[in-house]
Amino acid sequence: MSSKQQSHQRVFVVTGANKGIGYEVVKKLSTNQPNDLILLGSRDQKRGEEALVQLGSPSNVKVLVLDTSSKKSIEQAKEELQNKYDGHLDVLINNAGIGINDPSLKALKDTFDTNFYGVKHMNDTMSPMLRDNGRIVNVSSGLGAMTMKECSQDLKTKFLNPDITDSQLEQLFAELFKAVEEEKDPATVGFNPVILPSSDDYFALYYGASKLGVNTLTRIEARDWEKKYSAKNVIISAVCPGFCATDLNGNAQGARSAELGADSILHAVYTENLENGQFWRDGSHLPFESK
C-alpha cells in the first residue's frame, strides 16, 4: 500500500472484534467502506485470523493484535499503526468488554482493566494519531446509567459534576476498590446495588460501575479534546448497543442480535453533526442517569 493510497484511505480500529458485536461492526464496515482499512482488534493472532476467514478474508480487513487490558499491548498496537499505516487513524471503536459474577477484588480489577482503564488507555494512546473529523465510540451499556441512578446522592453529584477530571473519576473508583479489598459493602462508599431479575449481583455492580466510568470518561474526553489534541471536529460518543446475545451473557434467550448492536454503534460513526460527549442507543439520546 503506497503512502499516497494511505493518505486517502480512512483507518478504522475496532477492539474486541473477533466475535460478537465487534465482529458484526467489522463485517458491516468491510462492506460499507470498501476502499478504507478496517483493523480487527483481537487479543491473539489466531482468533483474529479465524474471524478474518469467517468474514471471507476481505482485502480491506487486517488483524491487529490488541489486548486492551494491557498497556504494553496497546503500545505495541500503536507502533504497528505507526509503522504499517503511517500513524493514521480516523475512527476508534472501543468495543472490548468483559463481565464477571464474582465478589472478589480480582474480578473487580479484571472488569475495570478491560472495560474502563482499557478504554482510557486506548484513547490516551491513540488520540494523538486521530485525524480531523475523526470519531471515537466508547461502547457502554444502559447498566451504566442504572448504576448512576442507584449511587448515593453525594457520589452521584461527584460523577455528574461538569468539571470532573479523569484523575477525580479514578479516585471515585479507588474508593470502590478499597471497600472491596477490605471486604466492606460497596454501598458504604456510595455504590448501591443494581438489582436486575436476569443478572447476578456482582456482575451488575462491577460491570455497571465500569460502564458508568466509560460514560463519565466520554464526557471528560469530549470536553477536553481541543485543549489536548490538534485534530479538529472530533466527536466522542458513548453508545449502548442494547442487550445483545453474546458470549458475555451466555447468548441469552430473547436478547437482540449482535448485528443490531453493531447498528447502534455505527449510528455514532455515520451520523453527521452528532452532539459531542453524549450517550446514545440506536441513534436516540440516552440520559447518563436512568429515570
Q: Walk along the chain (291 residues) and give the pLDDT tens digit of each residue.
A: 334 444 579 999 999 999 999 999 999 999 999 999 999 999 999 999 999 999 999 999 999 999 999 999 999 999 999 999 999 999 999 999 998 888 899 999 999 999 999 999 999 999 999 999 999 999 999 999 999 999 999 999 999 999 999 999 999 999 999 999 999 999 999 999 888 766 566 778 999 999 999 999 999 999 999 999 999 999 999 999 875 545 554 544 555 677 788 999 999 999 999 999 999 999 999 999 998
Residue 50, amino acid: E
Residue 129, amino acid: M
Using the structure block, give the residue that is written with the C-alpha cell 482485502. 59
Q: Taken in order 272, 273, 278, 282, is the CA torsion positive or negative? A: negative
Q: Please, what is the end-to-end C-alpha distance for the chain in angstroms?
A: 50
d(CA 186, CA 151): 10
d(CA 9, CA 35): 7
pLDDT at residue number 200: 60
Degrees, nearest 5: CA angle 181-108-190: 70
CATH number for the domain whose boundaries are 3-142+212-286 = 3.40.50.720
Using the structure block, give the residue that is written with the C-alpha cell 469467517. 54
Judge contact between 224 and 125, C-beta under 8 A.
no
d(CA 228, CA 212): 23
DSSP designation for 151: S
d(CA 114, CA 100): 12
Using the structure block, give the residue that is written with the C-alpha cell 480500529. 13
What is the pTM for the complete model shown? 0.93
Judge contact between 17 and 95, C-beta under 8 A.
yes
pLDDT at residue number 4: 40
Please state the domain extents for the chain.
3-142+212-286
If you write DSSP's letter for every residue of 215-266 in order, what string do you get?
HHHHHHHHHHHHHH---SS-EEEEE---SB-SGGGTS-TTPBPHHHHHHHHH
Judge contact between 222 and 236, C-beta under 8 A.
yes
d(CA 6, CA 2): 6
- For 123-169, write each residue's pLDDT tens digit: 999 999 999 999 999 999 999 999 999 999 999 999 999 999 999 99
Backbone angles phi, psi at 14, to 5 degrees: -125, 120
